[in-house]
Structure 1
Amino acid sequence: MKRLTVTVEEPACALVLAPVGIATPHDAVTALDVTGGRIERVLGEPELGLGAALLRPAGGPLVLDYAVAPAPAGQPYPEAAFRPRANRFTAAAAELADASRGIAARAGGGHVGIAALVAEAEARFDYAHPETRFNDGTDAVPYLSCGTTPGSCVDINTYLVASLRAAGYEAAYVYGHFFPADRGGVTHDMHCWVVTRHDGEVLEWDIAHHMKAGLGPTRAALDPRPGRRVALGHSMGQSYDDPRIPPMLKLLSEPLALHDGAVRRLSLSVRLADARAPGGAPAEGPLAGVR
């Protein structure tokens, strides 16, 4: 059992929205405990099968503790993560769709076509965190026809998932936190990756980590950089039935501050450690859903 602890490192606002967590073939988030506040509501995203906790801070540090258990044998990625959806964050513009189909076909289709689209997405970006994203203000994910564009893991994987789905492949956009081996189980922001499913084979792709670590052309691997990741959600374009939440969230990968119908990111410290009960024994208990 692991314990993923997210600490808000700034005075929290009146309301915070946080992901509840998911199960993947690697881990299952089985509970969420909150200190420094209370869970006011747990909201569902019916189309995606996701949950979000609406938190009301009570003053002092706001801390979220997720219980993370090994995944049961045979646990898949959530089926809804692979389901094509049409919104501005997921749908490929016509030029990107045409180009993606052509790239996959020229490569020979199948798994080779997937690898070709991964390589194409990698070739279109320089890893960066730009203030203006390549798809800001667009109605669909645009085609990047030449040169390179600055982009983070969010941007690169937005492009890759739209491209893969346009070419007829099953692809999922998964996010949570990655803990580099050299940081002692600590990170400060989210991370995302792509999962493909074709002919019964599930593969995980992390272009951003290959680029950042200088690992060469991207190959399928969960952790190409030494470390450990935990998924908390999937898919872009989420809707929760509460007037205090924007009608369409891009994604909910970490706690967000809510104010006047808008969201903003919070400064966070995130730690992953073994869950231990007093006396050094592994923690046990009824970990089923949000507590």
Structure 2
Amino acid sequence: MTEFSITYEADLPDGARALVPGGLTTPQARCLGVDSAGPVLDQLTEAHTGQVAHVVGGAEGRLELRFTFDDTGGDAYPEAIFRPRDSRFTRFADALRAEAAEIAPHAPPAERARAIACATADRFTYGHPEARFNDGMDAVPALGCGLTEGSCVDINTYFIAALRAAGIEAGYVTGFHFPAEKGDRCEDGHCWVVTRTEAGVQEWDIAHHLKMGTRDIHPGLNPKPGFRAAGFHSMGLGFARLDLPELKALIEPLHLTEDGPCAFDDPRIRLHHPAVAEPAPA
């Protein structure tokens, strides 16, 4: 058994608060807990999935967290990951249902999931647009022909909605991926999709295929070499005590501001694992 941890540091003014995912056990790794150098102000239970999150304060102007894991893993992903809450982030439009129905309609679910993954890749270029393709909409729309710029969040929002529109069980996982070329460091959180079919549970990372210049998508945790660990799951999250009835996702810790939760600028994220070394200086 190997124990490892991920540390997350960011600037957090005195008196400010952060919403922190409570960690997620997956078939690959077991989450042992989350520790904060600053005070833990509240422990919350997400309304629809039962996951735990924490509200924490800073320590001398900084947020300092440590997520601890071991590689024993769990028996399965939580069942709740495959039971989406109805929200504007998970609901598929009628046009998307029709679009998905045209993709390998007679194939068995596992083969059809891969066909939908490839069709999703054919509709996206990887990027971080100012406006997302589903902004302001009550359901995830069809994309039709042409290419849409999108991040891993956008790509997986469409992908998982298309899978579910086709009747394929699917879940949305969030956490961190440390690219092999960066060794023990990454710049932000990441997300990926899991499916459950006659082929078993499979993980999908379309964004990483696109980063590698291919739209020929295959299941696998790390198509782009590196190391990953999960922190939370699902979209359309509810935290009543924070007056957050429909948070899109909790991908990484969020700064709780008067204007709503937002990502931290320039977080310092590091993996502490005996098999992953700090990259050599260029």
TM-score by length of 2: 0.91
Change (3 A) 1:207 1:29: same
Structure 1, 166-175 or 252-261: larger mean CA deviation: 252-261
Percentage identity across paired residues of the two chains: 43
2:279 is matched with: none
1:227 aligns with 2:234: no
Q: 1:48-101: CA deviations, max 9, x gaps?
A: 1211100122423221011111134x5211111111331100111001012212
Give 3-state SS (helix, strand or coil) of 2:114's partner.
helix
1:282 is matched with: none
Distance (whole Å) between structure 1 residues aligned to residue 15 and residue 188 of structure 2: 19
> How far off is 1:14 after superposition?
1.2
Distance (whole Å) between structure 1 residues aligned to residue 273 and residue 217 of structure 2: 31
Distance (whole Å) between structure 1 residues aligned to residue 62 and residue 6 of structure 2: 16
Structure 1 residues without counterparts, runs of 5 or longer: 276-291
1:63 is matched with: 64
Give 3-state SS (helix, strand or coil) of 1:114's partner.
helix
Give 3-state SS (helix, strand or coil) of 2:102's partner.
helix
Q: 2:25 aligns with which of 5, 23, 26?
A: 23
2:36 is matched with: 34
Change (3 A) 1:13 1:225: farther
Indicate conservation of the 8 Å contact 1:13/1:259, yes or no.
Answer: no
Give 3-state SS (helix, strand or coil) of 2:103's partner.
helix
Change (3 A) 1:11 1:188: farther
Give 3-state SS (helix, strand or coil) of 2:201's partner.
strand
Change (3 A) 1:9 1:129: same
Distance (whole Å) between structure 2 residues aligned to residue 118 and residue 184 of structure 1: 28
Distance (whole Å) between structure 1 residues aligned to residue 90 and residue 254 of structure 2: 21
Indicate conservation of the 8 Å contact 2:57/2:63, yes or no.
Answer: no
Which residues in structure 2 correspond to 1:1-291 (within 5 Å)? 1-9=3-11, 11=13, 14-35=16-37, 37-72=38-73, 75-106=75-106, 108-199=107-198, 201-242=200-241, 244-260=242-258, 262-267=260-265, 268-274=267-273
> How far off is 1:274 after superposition?
2.8
Indicate conservation of the 8 Å contact 2:11/2:61, yes or no.
Answer: no
Distance (whole Å) between structure 1 residues aligned to residue 40 and residue 231 of structure 2: 17
Runs ≥4 residues deviating over 3 A: 9-13
Distance (whole Å) between structure 2 residues aligned to residue 152 and residue 13 of structure 1: 32
Name the aligned partner's letter for residue 10 of structure 2. V
> How far off is 1:230 after superposition?
0.5
Distance (whole Å) between structure 2 residues aligned to residue 248 and residue 98 of structure 1: 26
Structure 2 residues without counterparts, runs of 5 or longer: 275-282
> How far off is 1:13 after superposition?
6.1
Indicate conservation of the 8 Å contact 1:92/1:142, yes or no.
Answer: yes
Name the aligned partner's letter for residue 48 of structure 1. T
TM-score by length of 1: 0.89
Name the aligned partner's letter for residue 260 of structure 1. E
Indicate conservation of the 8 Å contact 2:44/2:239, yes or no.
Answer: yes
Indicate conservation of the 8 Å contact 1:12/1:257, yes or no.
Answer: no
> How far off is 1:199 after superposition?
1.7
Indicate conservation of the 8 Å contact 1:245/1:261, yes or no.
Answer: no
Distance (whole Å) between structure 2 residues aligned to residue 168 and residue 13 of structure 1: 46
